[in-house]
Structure 1
Amino acid sequence: MNDRFLVTGGARLSGEVSVGGAKNSVLKLMAAALLAEGTTVLTNSPDIADVPLMADVLRGLGATVEVDHDTVTIDVPAEPKYHADFDAVKQFRASVCVLGPLMARCHRAVVALPGGDAIGSRPLDMHQAGLRALGAHSSIEHGCV
């Protein structure tokens, strides 16, 4: 088996390519803004439905969030709330990404089990195992982690 691929093209390529924002990272970056007090600005954000949903989750935690085309500005207060809004969290799966930052920042978190797509069962075992590895106690009670 080869360790590399060699591609020989017929024509030299030149020019510029604009690469769109990564939909799989923007929601995690938005959640990560909870780790520090103050303003975080994300540019080149993709235009996906989950960005305004995550903005709603962060607003429920006390942050000020502005979404302007491909720029997301998040201002996190000195003491964010640690209990994520049930209705906002139930709308999409990535909302669980606020769990770790809330634990790191507030030393506690209450986040409803996420809702979202119907791809299939994706339990929160990895999230809970990560929290336990960092010394936190985690349980699922009344539909919340």
Structure 2
Amino acid sequence: MTLAEAVLAAAKARGALLVTAESCTAGMIAAALTDPAGASSVFDRGFVTYSNAAKIQMLGVSEATLAARGAVSEEVAREMAEGARSRSGATHAVAVTGIAGPGGSEHKPEGRVCFGLATEEGTRTETVEFGAIGRGPVRAASRDHALRLLADSLG
């Protein structure tokens, strides 16, 4: 059983409804969740908000938060997850925003990805430093980490 299949099975068992809010992964989490048959019973939608404007318009991320903390921050990941959950009615929202590369800066290096998970119990955030392992590997690792966050929250 794949990680996505495990998430779907756990969501079905709990009667959960899932939503994603993605920046650097650009829909990879939603794609993984909808690849297995039967996903429609627990997956509501995915928001791909690659630009700051999309984060503001689609998820209600605060311009002030973006200005103060930047798109790659736990604060923005929190607002993305909470916005996705409130705009969809889902029980579980996972959000991801990061720097897949190439590039980055001294303060926000390549491979830094911030995650948000909003559920009925509240919202939590975390940052993972995947390192400068390449754009594709950072995006894949981010997808898998987001799926693990969902799995853990449903377990």
TM-score where L is the length of structure 1: 0.27
Structure of greater Rg: 1
RCO higher in 1 or 2 (8 Å CA, sep ≥ 6)? 2
Q: Compare the two structures and name the one with the higher helix fraction.
A: 2
Task: Looking at secondary structure, tell me which structure has more strand per residue.
Answer: 2
